[in-house]
């Protein structure tokens, strides 16, 4: 069943009102008709009752059509308005529509069909307009909500940025503290080492065996402490990006052999075999010999430290792509695959308990990794628990110094110079399968 339309006719002319009533009665629509003669009365009625449409005469006793429209629209009553116009007044129809009228009908053309059609159209149009306005309003609200959320996100981003800056500053202060303290401690430590060395010279002091033994212990402990201090100092320099390589041409076999000999007594003390094999056609490389020595000593001392039985093998070789490799294999406690990434992070040790079995700062591998990265090289690791480990360093024969990035940390916390592999049968590097160490493990 068709809905009943509630129409308010505002017209002071009785003849017009009857004509409209007749036309509406004839039209095939259900109408509930209300009639008033003035705009002010119409407004009062409209405030209290909802109508589907208002039919205005253009000339009312209290207002003309245009003013009636203005009055109605400023009262914020929402209803479609159709104006009845006298013939010859079509020019004001445009102004009436602009002012807010929905449509108009010429009195001369008033018929039940035109009236029904115009009213239906006006109501439909008005409903569509209302729906569009509602949708617009909702859109505006969502936009405002989004804007609000965006502002909130921006505020959070700024907070995080501020936190980051604070963290960076704290980290910078920590590095500065480490650098200052280790630098300050080195001076008295050098004095302790120097004076104990002097005391051990027969020229300076005639010490009893017991005294000489005690001074020797002071000397060895002093050297160990100095080594730890140097490690911390290197770490803070790498972290602040102030460590520079000083490359020169040198004989790699000689440096590796010399380093192995420095470690030999430690290996012998643990009854470990220590074998070195250099297989280089050209033994010369262009690199920083001090830092290459540091890398080898870090890896070798770890190999000795973490091996109780068996031995250590060092192999120096060259690759077809003009690189050299230094591999250090041990039959030690090994490293589980889950720890591969961690051990290259600064201060990370697999056993971090206070009563841990193996001493150390946990900086050796982080420093090694950063140095290898600075040299444009790569580290490969293959290991299995209780079988052993192989650390292989691959370095370009000739390092190219990258320009130092101001204020950037060159220390690699799990950086991209690492290739790690877990293998059941640790052998020399031919067996390395590469896994790039990034955030997820990705097979290249």
Q: Which residues bind ligand ADP (CB under 6 A)?
A: 298, 302-303, 306, 330, 332-335, 343, 348-350, 360-366, 389
Closest CB to ligand ADP: residue number:
360
User: What 3-state class would DSSP assign to 97?
Assistant: helix
Do 274 and 264 meet the contact criterion of CB atoms below 8 Å apart?
yes
- Which residues, including other chains, have CB under 8 Å from residue 92's CB and lie 6 or more apart? 58, 65, 66, 85
**How far lies 127's CA from each of 37, 42, 52, in Å?**
26, 21, 10
Per DSSP bridges, beta strands 248-251 and 103-106 are: unpaired
Nearer to ligand ADP, 92 or 228 (CB): 228
At closest approach, how far in Å is the CB of 191 from ligand ADP? Answer: 26
Nearer to ligand ADP, 213 or 268 (CB): 268
C-alpha–C-alpha distance, residues 7 and 9, integer Å: 6
Strand arrangement, sheet containing 378-384: 273-279, 311-318, 323-330, 388-396, 378-384, 418-422
Could you count the other beta carbons within 10 Å of the beta carbon of residue 191?
A: 11
At closest approach, how far in Å is the CB of 277 from ligand ADP? Answer: 18
At closest approach, how far in Å is the CB of 303 from ligand ADP? Answer: 5
At closest approach, how far in Å is the CB of 345 from ligand ADP? Answer: 8
At closest approach, how far in Å is the CB of 173 from ligand ADP? Answer: 23
Nearer to ligand ADP, 106 or 350 (CB): 350
C-alpha–C-alpha distance, residues 307 and 405, integer Å: 39
Nearer to ligand ADP, 88 or 353 (CB): 353
Nearer to ligand ADP, 62 or 339 (CB): 339
Nearer to ligand ADP, 11 or 294 (CB): 294
Query: Of all helices (H) and strands (E), which one includes residue 212?
Result: helix 209-240
At closest approach, how far in Å is the CB of 162 from ligand ADP? Answer: 33
C-alpha–C-alpha distance, residues 379 and 390, integer Å: 10
Token representation of residue 35: 């009639």
Per DSSP bridges, beta strands 81-85 and 53-57 are: parallel
At closest approach, how far in Å is the CB of 387 from ligand ADP? Answer: 11
> Could you give phi then psi for residue 170, rounded to 5 degrees?
-65, -40
Nearer to ligand ADP, 337 or 350 (CB): 350
Nearer to ligand ADP, 105 or 260 (CB): 260
C-alpha–C-alpha distance, residues 21 and 27, integer Å: 10
User: What 3-state class would DSSP assign to 394?
Assistant: strand
At closest approach, how far in Å is the CB of 234 from ligand ADP? Answer: 12
At closest approach, how far in Å is the CB of 386 from ligand ADP? Answer: 10
**How far lies 224's CA from each of 212, 227, 359, 387, 432, in Å?**
18, 5, 11, 29, 34
Nearer to ligand ADP, 334 or 377 (CB): 334
Nearer to ligand ADP, 101 or 335 (CB): 335
- Work out the angle at residue 267's Cα, subtended by the Cα atoms of residues 219 and 378, and round it to the nearest 5 degrees: 100
Residue for token digits 């108009």?
Answer: 104
C-alpha–C-alpha distance, residues 304 and 189, integer Å: 26
Residue for token digits 């009228």?
Answer: 101
User: Which runs of consecutive H residues, i.e. helices, occur in 285-434?
Assistant: 289-305, 364-374
At closest approach, how far in Å is the CB of 389 from ligand ADP? Answer: 4
Do 52 and 140 meet the contact criterion of CB atoms below 8 Å apart?
no
What is the number of alpha carbons within 13 Å of residue 172 lying toward its C-beta?
A: 10
At closest approach, how far in Å is the CB of 334 from ligand ADP? Answer: 6
Nearer to ligand ADP, 179 or 303 (CB): 303
């Amino acid at each position: 069943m068709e809905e009943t339309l509630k129409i308010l006719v505002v017209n002071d002319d009785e003849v017009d009102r009857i004509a409209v009533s007749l036309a509406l009665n004839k039209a095939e629509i259900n109408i509930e008709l209300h009639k008033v003669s003035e705009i002010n009365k119409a407004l009062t009625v409209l405030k209290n009752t909802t109508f589907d449409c208002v039919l205005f005469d253009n000339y009312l006793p209290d207002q003309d059509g245009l003013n009636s429209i203005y009055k109605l629209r400023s009262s914020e009553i929402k209803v479609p308005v159709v104006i009845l116009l006298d013939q010859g007044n079509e020019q004001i129809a445009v102004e009436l529509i602009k002012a807010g009228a929905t449509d108009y009908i010429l009195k001369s053309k008033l018929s039940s069909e035109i009236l029904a059609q115009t009213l239906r159209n006006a109501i439909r149009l008005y409903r569509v307009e209302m729906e569009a306005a509602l949708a617009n309003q909702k859109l505006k609200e969502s936009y405002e909500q989004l804007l609000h959320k965006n502002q909130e996100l921006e505020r959070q981003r700024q907070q995080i940025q501020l936190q980051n800056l604070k963290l960076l500053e704290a980290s910078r202060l920590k590095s500065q503290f480490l650098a200052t303290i280790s630098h300050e401690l080195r001076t008295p430590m050098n004095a302790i080492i120097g004076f104990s060395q002097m005391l051990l010279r027969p020229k300076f002091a005639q010490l009893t065996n017991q005294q000489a033994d005690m001074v020797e212990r002071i000397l060895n402990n002093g050297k160990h402490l100095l080594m730890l201090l140097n490690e911390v100092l290197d770490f803070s320099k790498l972290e602040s990006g102030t460590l520079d390589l000083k490359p020169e041409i040198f004989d790699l076999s000689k440096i590796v052999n010399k380093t192995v000999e420095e470690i030999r007594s430690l290996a012998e003390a643990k009854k470990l075999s220590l074998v070195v094999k250099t297989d280089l056609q050209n033994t010369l490389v262009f690199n920083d010999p001090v830092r290459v020595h540091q890398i080898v000593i870090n890896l070798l001392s770890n190999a000795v430290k973490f091996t109780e039985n068996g031995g250590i093998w060092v192999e120096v070789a060259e690759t077809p792509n003009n690189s050299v490799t230094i591999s250090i294999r041990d039959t030690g406690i090994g490293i589980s695959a889950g720890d591969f990434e961690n051990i290259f992070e600064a201060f990370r040790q697999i056993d971090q308990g206070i009563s841990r079995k193996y001493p150390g700062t946990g900086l050796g591998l982080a420093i090694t990794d950063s140095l290898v990265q600075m040299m444009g090289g790569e580290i490969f690791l293959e290991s299995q628990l209780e079988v052993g480990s192989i650390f292989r360093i691959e370095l370009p024969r000739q390092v190219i110094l990258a320009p130092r990035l101001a204020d950037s940390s060159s220390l690699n916390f799990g950086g991209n110079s690492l290739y790690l592999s877990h293998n059941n049968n640790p052998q020399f590097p031919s067996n390395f399968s590469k896994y790039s160490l990034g955030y997820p493990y990705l097979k290249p």
